[in-house]
Every structure is written in structure tokens, then in C-alpha cells.
Amino acid sequence: MTALLEVSHLRKTYGATTAVDGVSFSLPPGGALGLVGESGSGKTTTARMLVGLERPDSGTIRVLGEAPAATLRGRTARLARAKAVQMVFQDPYLSLDGRLTVGSTLDGVLRLHGCHDRATRASRVRELLAQVGLGEREAAALPRHLSGGQRQRAAIARALAVEPAVLVLDEAVSALDVSVQAQVLNVLTDIRREAGIGLVFVSHDLAVVRYVCDEALVLLRGRPVEHRPIADLLDDPGHPYTRLLLDSVPRPGWDPETIARRRREVHLAGQGDRFLREL
Amino acid sequence: MSTTVLVRRPLLGRLRGGFLAHGRLFQVCLVLLVAFVVVALFAPWLAPQDPTVGDFADTMAGPGAAHLLGTDQGGHDTFSALLVGTRTSLLGPLCVVAFSSAAGIGVGLFSGWRGGWVDAVIGRVLDILFAFPSLLLAILAVALFGKGLGGPVLAMAIAYMPYTARLVRGLTAQERTRPYVSAYLVQGHAPVFVAVRRLLPNLGPTVLAQSTVNFGYALLDLAALSFLGLGVQPPTPDWGAMINQAQAAVLQGQPLSAVVPAVAVVLVVVAFNVVGEQLGDRLARRDAR
Amino acid sequence: MTLLEIDALTVELPGAARPVLDAVTLRLAAGEVVGLVGESGSGKSVTARSALGLLPARARVTGRVLVEGRDLVGADAARLREVRTGVASMVFQDPRAGINPVRRIGDFLTEPLRLTKGWSRREAEARALELLAAVGLPDPPRHLRQYPHQLSGGMLQRVMIAGALAGEPRLLLCDEPTTALDVSTQAEILALLGGLQRARGLGMLLITHDIELAAASCDRVYVMYAGRIVEQAPAAELFGSPRHPYTRGLLGSTPPLTGPLERLRPVPGAPMSLAESAPGCAFAARCTFAEPGRCDHSAPELLPLTAAPDRSAACFRVAELPNPAVTEARP
């Protein structure tokens, strides 16, 4: 079976800083991969390269075995790229156009992707919104009249309207309140099960990645340090950095002092790189 | 976080705060502007006399029943000239603002969207244009194309273009990084479509505020040009030309025919400034939220 | 005398449909670490700020905020200054927002000492070096001459903590001190705060949206919802057996890091905004246990539980609700 997404040796630099270096993974149909890391780990840059918002310096991205056109000059190439990978952004307050209602935003996406019949579009919009748990009222509302969770669900519906093979979520739940975050997480797991869409889930939160994904790829300063099934990774982290991340999650009986000491030890043992040495 | 800053000349900036802070002044100025526009539209029907025809039997008359605001030394009815002059006095700046805004939006959007070296080059060119006083450019145009409204309007449109262009350029560069723009691109929309149909409308109100401020200054510049005898030529009524023609009357102790158009110029310029700046401030407050 | 005692504090803003704070009552003893947990708009930050007398200017305020016995509601400038310079201080969420980016770290730390205590530059600098060492920064003399952009977020938060300690406060208010930081930095900052708190016997109020963080680092936790305190309990008990439906909802919404992976049970709807109001319990509209005619009729008071007098909850049905299966403390 062809992998949905085949990424090899991605590299991206900005001037002297290397944002991403040597990221490779493949996503099977219906698979979900977590890209885990802290700020400066290159996880967002990787996500933006997957959807074509940034162009990699080197490395390849194949969707369903084909490399999307490098330049997006023509309409066909643009639409094909959009069908391949869609993205949901971190901040639901900024990622929707404030002048358009949720319904007309979705309608515009459907029209762009070749649905010319008004009635078909209207019923598809209802269907998409129902899929993320939104109704007529939300369809008619401007984004500013919706709560953060509703906006993020609208943004997910917008991405699904394109019927992409892969959905990239860039910290898509981290700006939401806990009680609302759970609603969106359930929407995501449902979509994955029902639509068979592949997910690339970018997050710093291991517990959330565990809930949504099968595998995790841990990034440190743009380089992959560990890539395994998430259950194995959490049971027995192989890299000291992964262990540090795991230990850092607060829980009862949690001892921040030990973690702080471990962090220094990681540094002293020379296993951490410059990122760890910064603090 | 957003920086919606209008380019202002320091002329009326000082008047802000205090009594300008009240919403009432904004409303008064808005009503005043609407009134001037109505007068301009219906001037020929409102004017009691034909201002282009002088009554040599009754020159430099004071206010009275026959001539509401008196006459100038050519016997033209000042009140009628004021009303009909509203047309040319507003039409000139309107053309300047229309051309400069259209060009400024085009240049600014292109420059801000493209970024990189294209943006840097355009930025330098705009800086150079900024260095030319608009009035000087207009006088140059008169020297090239002859007297009249056409040359100065074109010259001033070019001189005012950088104000709008710089504003739009900055806002576009800032707006372009927003996730909603990225989202449109990821959906497969053409970049031109996203820039013109989706990004630009979000800048509309700010650009409108800048254009309103520009309107007042363009009116002032064009009136000055007409006053110098380089703009609108008599007998076409125009406020600047009226002040020019009233010079003799002023010297002979009949200043009314100069004072009336001067007051009109001041009122319109102040009104446009207040409305433009308040629009800008309201936008800044909206952005801050 | 209790270090911080907030008594029926109600804060109303003109134009809002409900009070920002609604009869908030909270106690914090010297040497105690108390957590204040809530989602956006719950009023947790406003509560913390009230302990410094920082309340919205146009607000209508009733109730009392006693810091070492001094009431800050309607207090004059002198009393506020006395509390802010010597008794209580605050660490904010975003360290970059709280520091002037064009001034050196040294100026940030020494200026308040020189202005409020009249110290000489030399004395103030000596104290600043002490403080930077106390917050675990590696090279205090160098940091004194550095600018904020030269430090990472975690280091800068240490500087902010040093600044908060400058007046030798007895009450430290931490408003989401690690939310803007990375996960592994969060642990370091909390280790630092915990160490300082124990060494100096500080009373500490930790405001956070992360119920697990509060449970892991506090002695006692208050849970807020829509301007009201809905539950108060010792941290370990709150986490193991939450009583208020909202607290249960929060815990049911948090995906676990270990143990069986069940489908999350999210709380339906969204947190109540300031534009909404409810005649009864603010949580009734989202609550699966709400009883029509009772819960949406009048607001329940925060009362001690009969079974556990050291805990309290604001829920009419708290005694009738099934005891939650005591979730094992996760390893």
C-alpha cells in the first residue's frame, strides 16, 4: 500500500540558523504522527513545508507516491497541492477571515474545488459542519461571534472541505481551554476513524499526542531524536531528551527539582546540545 | 499589536485631544462635509445668480438683499460664486485622492505582498517621491502642461500616492503573515485572488481614513495653486481663484469677497482632517481590542 | 493573622452581564502554597491582582481583601504602596511583556530599590547580584549588564522572579508563571519557586489553567468558574476525588499520559463569557448533573462538605452525586 505521505531528509535554514535538518517519516493511510518538540524544535517549520507555505532547501515530500509541483504557478498544481495536504493553524482567532461567515468561508472552498452547484454546496457545508459538531447558527455567524472552540472546529471543517489526503494540525488545540480542547480532540479522532484521513499532529503536549496519534517523532533543534510508536516511546523513552520531556509533565508526586537536576545532568553528560545548555 | 498609523502632516495634529476627544465634533464635521457635497451637487440650482457674469453697475457691494454676501470688484455675486465654486474646489481634490489612492493601493499591495528586493526598491522610490513638496510638483506640471486643473491634479496625485502606498505596504506586509492568509493559500487560492479579494478589503477602512485626510490637504494645495493664478482660471468659480481676485477689493477695504471663500477652505480642510483622524483613531481602538 | 484573606469579594464592570468576581472568598496562610485553577474568564487573574490592590479602574467593588490585616479595597495610595513594596509581589505570565526591552537587567532590578528604599547604586547592585544568584542564574555580574533580548524566556522569568523578591515579600502571587515557557523549562521554574517558597517561608498563590500542575505543586487548590469559587480541597484529594461537576469535567477532559486510554468526556459548551449571565449556578447549562428548577434557579453557596470538613464545594447536588471512582494517583 502506498504511503499517504513520504517525507525524506527535509532541511530548511534561515540565514545561519538551521530550522529543520534531516526530518524523514512516512505516514500510512489513516495513520497519525505526532511531531513533538519545544519552541525552536522546527516542528512548525516542518508543518509549513508539508503544506507548501515554506519551500525546503533540500529533501522531498511525496503525497500518495507523487511529488507535488515545486512551484504553484498554475491553478491545477495549486488545487492538487491543496487536495494533498491541508492545515489547521494554532490560533483560531486569527486563522479565519473575520469578514466572512463560517458558511460562506466553507462555500468558497467548495466552489474553488470545483463544486459549481449551489444546492450541492449548501448541503455539503451542512454536512461538514455537522461532522465537527456545528449547526445552522454557527454557519451564519461571523468568526468573532463564536467561541474559540467553535472557531477551531470551523477551521477543521474548512480544511476537510478540500477532502485532503493528509491533515496537518499545528498546535491546533493548545490555545483552547481544557474543557473545550477535549471536544476538539474527540472531533479529530472521529474524523480520523470515519474519513481515513492521515494526521500530522504538531504539539508540545505528550498526553494530547498520545490521545490522537499512533507514532511520535521527537524533534530537538530541528533534528529528529526519536521516532517510535507513541506507546513504546512513553513506556521507555530512548533518548534523554524524550525522557526529560516526559518527566516534565506535571502529575501527582511530581518533583520538579529532580527534573531540573536531570536536565543539568543531560547537559553535563554532553548528550544535550546547545538548546539544553541555554538554561 | 497592529500598527494602523496614518501618515499625517503636523498641521492639525496638535489640535487633537481635549475638545476633539468628544464624539460630537466628529459628527458636526461629518454633517458639514455632507452639506458641502450636497451644495456641490446642486450648486447651479441653489445659486441665486450666475457667478460668471459680472454686474459692473454694482461692484464691491456690501451684503444686502440683491447680493447676500456682496460682490467683488468685477461685480460677481460672492454667494453664488461660493456655491458654484464648491464644485471645482471639491472636484479637484476628489480626482487627486481617487488617482493617488488607486495607484497607492496598487503599488503598496504589490510591494507589501512580494516583499524582498522588489519591496526594497519600491520603498526607496517612494522615499524619493516623499521628498518632493506636492505644491512644487504641481507648479512643475503647470510649467509643462499649462494652466488649468488637469496638470496640477495629475502632479498632486503622484505626490500624494506615497502616503497611501506606504500605509498599504506596511499593513499588507503585516497582514500577509496572518494565519488566515496562509489558510487561503493552503486551500489552493491564487495569490492574486488572496491579496486583492481577501486581504485588501480588510485594509479598506484604514485606507479610507488616510484618503480622507489626504483630501483636505489636496484641497488646500489646489486652492493655493488657484490663488497663485496657476490653477483654475477665471471666470470658472473656484475658492482659491476667488481669493486671488478679491485682492484688489481687500486693499480697498472690502475683504468680504476674500474672507468668505477662505473660511470655506478652512472649514472643509478642518472637517476632513477631523473626520479622517477620528476614523483612524477608531480603527486603532478597534485593533487594540 | 492570616497572610491573605479575601472575603466575599465582588467586582462588577459596567456593561458586563455578570460580575467578574462573585463573592470570592479565599484564605492563604503564611508558608502555604495555594493553587487557583480556572479557564479563561473564570476570574482567577483578577482575584490574584486584587491582593495587590490592582482592580479595574471603573469596577464596582464590594467585600474585603486583607493582606496581613490591611484592607486593600478602597485603600489609599500609601497603604497600597506599603503592601506592594514590602508584603506582596507578583510574577506574570509573559516575562517579555513585563520588562522594558531597551533597559538593562541591572536597571530593572536596582531601580525599584533605589526609588522606593532610597538605597545607593552600590547597595542596590549588591542586592541585585544576591537576587540573581538566588534565582539560580549562572553569572550574575554579566546578567546585570545584559538586555532582555539576550536571555531565553526561562532565564528572563528567573529575572522577573528576582525582581519580585527584591522587596522581601511574604506573599508571592504567580499568575500563570510558566504558560509562556516550554514544558521542560516549566519544571525548572517551578522547582525554583518551590525552593524559594520553602527557604523563605513564603505564602504562594499559583494561578494556572492546568489542574494537573496545580495538583502537583500546591497544598490546597481553589477551582474557579465564571467568577465564582466552585470547589476548594487539599490538592491530592481534589485530583483523586473531585466533587464539583465542573472539577470532574476538567479532569475528564484532560487526556492521561499513562493508564488506559478511554474516550475523553468533554464538558459540553464553552466557558461563560462576561456577556452572559445565569440566574442560578453558572455551570448549570453545561452540567450533566443539573436539576432543572433547582440548579438554574438560585446560585449555590460554597459550603464545607459534611463528609470532609476541610473541603468545600458550591453545588446543591454534591451530596447526592455518585462518588467518582477514585482515580488512582497516576505514577
Ordered domains of chain B (ranges, CATH): 67-288 (1.10.3720.10)
What CA–CA distance (Å, rounded) separates A150 from A89? 14
Higher pLDDT, B224 or B102: B102
Give the pLDDT band (50/70/90) at residue C12: very high
**Per-residue pLDDT at C183:** 84
CB atoms A234 and C257 under 8 Å: yes
Cell triple for residue B95? 480626482
Residue of A nearest to B201 (CA): A99
**Owning domain of residue A202:** 5-229
CB atoms B202 and A52 under 8 Å: no
The Cα-based distances of A62 to A81, A169, C53, C57 in angstroms read: 11, 18, 59, 57
Q: What is the mean pLDDT of the segment spanning A191-212?
A: 91
CB atoms A89 and B182 under 8 Å: yes
Give the pLDDT band (50/70/90) at residue B130: confident
Is the residue at C324 inside a domain? Answer: yes
Range list of β-strands (E), chain C: 4-12, 21-28, 33-37, 60-67, 70-71, 88-91, 171-175, 203-208, 220-225, 228-234, 303-304, 312-313
Q: Is the pLDDT of residue C36 over 50?
A: yes
User: In the block, which residue shows the cell 448541503?
Assistant: A123
CATH number at residue A192: 3.40.50.300
Reported as half-sphere exposure (CB side, CA atoms, 13 A), residue C215 has a value of: 20
Is the residue at A132 inside a domain? Answer: yes
Query: What one-character-per-residue DSSP string does A71-113 give?
Result: S--SHHHHHHHHHHEEEE-S-TTTSS-TTS-HHHHHHHHHHHT
Q: What percent of chain A has pLDDT over 90?
A: 54
CATH number at residue C278: 3.40.50.300
Is the residue at C181 inside a domain? Answer: yes
B/e letters for C145-179, b = 16+ CB within 10 Å, e = fewer, are ebebeebbbbbbbbbbbbbbbbbebbbbbbbbbbe
Give the pLDDT band (50/70/90) at residue B286: low
Contact residues of A toward C, CB < 8 A:
38-39, 147-150, 177-183, 185-186, 189, 204-208, 210-211, 234, 244-254, 256-257, 259-260, 263, 278-279
Question: Least CB-CB distance to A99: which of B185, B188, B202?
Answer: B202
In tens, the pLDDT along B142-157 reads: 888 877 788 888 888 8
**Per-residue pLDDT at B249:** 77
Nearest one of C244, C190, C192 to C218, comparing CA atoms: C190
CB atoms A263 and C184 under 8 Å: yes
Flag whether the pTM goes above 0.90. Answer: no
The question of ipTM being above 0.90 is answered as no
Give the pLDDT band (50/70/90) at residue B3: very low
What CA–CA distance (Å, rounded) separates A100 from A96? 8
User: What strands, in cross-sheet order, belong to the sheet with A58-63?
Assistant: A17-27, A5-14, A58-63
Residue of A nearest to C270 (CA): A180
Is the residue at C62 inside a domain? Answer: yes
Residue A200: its H or E element: strand A198-203
What CA–CA distance (Å, rounded) separates A20 from C14? 50
When divided into structural domains, chain A yields a total of 1
What is the nearest CA distance from C322 to chain A, expressed in angstroms?
21
Is the residue at C239 inside a domain? Answer: yes
3-state secondary structure B34-97: HHHHHHHHHHHHHCCCCCCCCCCCCCCCCCCCCCCCCECCCCCEHHHHHHHHHHHHHHHHHHHH
In tens, the pLDDT along B88-114 reads: 888 889 999 999 999 999 999 999 999
**Owning domain of residue C9:** 1-87+169-331
CB atoms A253 and C195 under 8 Å: no
When divided into structural domains, chain C yields a total of 1
Is C39 an 8 Å CB contact of chain A? yes
Is A73 an 8 Å CB contact of chain B? no
In tens, the pLDDT along C161-216 reads: 999 998 899 999 999 999 888 888 888 899 899 999 999 999 999 999 998 899 88
Query: Is it the case that chain B and chain A have 3 or more CB pairs lying under 8 Å apart?
Result: yes
Is A83 an 8 Å CB contact of chain B? yes
Query: Is it the case that chain C and chain B have 3 or more CB pairs lying under 8 Å apart?
Result: no
Is the residue at C315 inside a domain? Answer: yes
Is the residue at A252 inside a domain? Answer: no
Contact residues of B toward A, CB < 8 A:
178-180, 182-190, 198, 201-202
CB atoms A86 and B186 under 8 Å: yes
Q: Which of A71-80, A85-94, A265-274, B58-67 has the highest mean pLDDT?
A: A85-94
Q: What is the mean pLDDT of the segment spanning B233-253?
A: 80
What is the nearest CA distance from A162 to chain B, expressed in angstroms?
7
The interaxial angle of helices C77-86 and C105-117, nearest 10 deg, is: 130
Please, which residues 170-199 of chain C have a Cβ atom closer than 8 Å to chain A?
Answer: 182-188, 190-192, 194-195
Bond into B191 cis (ω within 30): no
CB atoms C209 and A252 under 8 Å: no
In C, which residues are within 8 Å of A252 by CB distance? 212, 215-216, 235-236, 239-240, 329-330
